[in-house]
Amino acid sequence: GENISFEVINVCRKANPRITVKRAHFSAVIQREIDRAMATLVAPDQNLSDSVDARIEIDLRLGSAFTRFQTLSLGKKFEELSDKLLSWGPCQFATLGFIVDRSWKIERFVAEEFWSVSMSLNSGEGRGSAVFDWARGRLYDRTMCLVLYEEMLESQEAIVTSVRENIKRKWKPLPLATVALQTLASRKLRMSSETTMKVAEELYNAGMISYPRTETEIFKEGTDLRELITKQLPSHQWGAFANNLINNGGFEWPKPGKND
């Protein structure tokens, strides 16, 4: 964004060298956020823009060098690549590493059948039920697992030898950067990266979420998260949860991440 600002400034100053330019910073298309941004305009940051130019230059030089290298070297070794340009870029290379690593894990995986014994107890008195986990977890011998199961069926009673209680803490999730958003959507919703970003941008333009294309894991001070949550109140699926956050004191400021 900062780099684009200076592109606009350079064009405008060719027509009016005396023009003064200020920049608005906001991360959600909602009235209060835009009003706040317009009331706190700041000068564009030249250092941030220069860092983008430097990264563009580095990416271009690396991409050109490695594209030439792998096009010439691999084209000589593989006939089907002899007439193709094999492009290389820093972003492509990192993504390719993830794909290759996942492919190797799939190739090395050997499926093996296993069996386990599970047991649950229902009190029958309205006090709920208890599910017991087998300490051994699983057996890869079906016959042995069946023997243990039959012994359990023949037993008339079970003895509780110890009771152990653990406190389980679930930490607040961090605000989602772009890669984390895409990863979570793929794992939980089976959505492609392209679909995820398309939906995220539609939600952003509707004022439902903050700006999705970001590397930050920290909400800026002054971001009106309550207004974003208020927009969820009409939902039949999670409207009650949103209401608890807004009206019953359930809202807490999100845990900040390390990247900003």
SS (H, E, C) the chain: CHHHHHHHHHHHHHHCCCCCCCECCCCCCCHHHHHHHHHCCECCCHHHHHHHHHHHHHHHHHHHHHHHHHHHHHHHHCHHHCCCCCCCCHHHHHHHHHHHHHHHHHHHCCCCCCECCCEEEECCCCCCEEEECCCCCCECCHHHHHHHHHHHHHCCCCCCCCCCCCCCCCCCCCCCCHHHHHHHHHHHHCCCHHHHHHHHHHHHHCCCCCCCCCCCCCCCCCCCHHHHHHCCCCCCCCHHHHHHHHHCCCCCCCCCCCCC
Active-site annotation holder among 140, 149, 204, 211: 211
Candidates 115, 117, 116, 119; CA nearest to 160 is 119
Check if 149 is active-site.
no
Cα end-to-end distance, the chain, whole Å: 15
Tell me which residues are annotated as active site: 211
